[in-house]
Amino acid sequence: MTEHKSLRAFAAENPALILVLGICPLYASTVDVRAAFAMGCLVLAALLVSGLIMALLKRCIPQQFTLPAAFLVCAGVVSVFELLFHAWFPDIYKILGVYVSALSVNLLLVAAAADSCEQKAEKAIGQALLLGFIFLASLLAVAVIREVFGNASFAGIEIPSLKDYRINVLLQPGGALLIGAFLAAALNAVAAKALSSDSFSGWFGSSFPNAEKEEESES
């Protein structure tokens, strides 16, 4: 069941490719593997910190203020990371550009932060790590395909044998959507084989892998 939970989290409920949440960085930063890795790490760090803060503040935030608080916390956390990123990694920051600031209103971050308000700190951290790594993996998957086949390079290192076979459309936003669609289809195929059909009821409108809720439903 634990294996199914992880697989379900990655395949059937992949926030970037299946649930299509917070996909701006997915398509904006995946032209280069280095930029995708940087963006993924940034999202992971922002998820962790904002999730932890919201979990620690859960007693102070009435339910009707969860979303505004989540927005404020996400905006603050992303701003802090943005300043540090700009100072320490100026080259990558240049590549990512405005999409770093756009993370402040990223649906994935805000939703995860809001969700963390209803959980214990440990669970919030666990959820953030899981989401963050899944998002990072998704970004890297798209970035590798786009850069290798679109630009005949990997992390800035040229691949001479592919130089004449570049598929330029993969470097365009449309190409990113295309890759995302194919990966989503592949994930669906994997999930369909490995999981029962009942497990797919959580597809549309599903919240994130929430261990407490699942345990309640199982019992």
Q: State which residue, 59 or 193, has the beta carbon closest to other proteins.
A: 59
Instruction: Determine if 56 is a binding residue for other proteins (CB under 8 A).
Output: no
Judged by beta carbon, residue 67 or residue 190, the one nearer other proteins is 67
Q: Does 64 bind other proteins (CB under 8 A)?
A: yes
DSSP of the chain: -HHHHHHIIIIIT-TTTTS--S-HHHHHSTTSHHHHHHHHHHHHHHHHHHHHHHHHTTTTS-GGGHHHHHHHHHHHHHHHHHHHHHHH-HHHHHHHTHHHHHGGG-HHHHHHHHHHTTS-HHHHHHHHHHHHHHHHHHHHHHHHHHHHHHHSEETTEE-GGGGGG--GGGGSHHHHHHHHHHHHHHHHHHHHHHS-GGGGGGSTT-----HHHHHHHH-
- Provide, rounded to whole angstroms, the least separation between the CB of residue 192 and other proteins: 43
Residue 69 in the binding site for other proteins (CB under 8 A): yes
126 contacts other proteins (rule: CB under 8 A): no
Decide if residue 86 touches other proteins (CB under 8 A): yes
Question: Taking CB under 8 A as the rule, does residue 98 contact other proteins?
Answer: no
Can you tell me which of 12, 52, 73, 114 binds other proteins, judged by CB under 8 A? Answer: 73
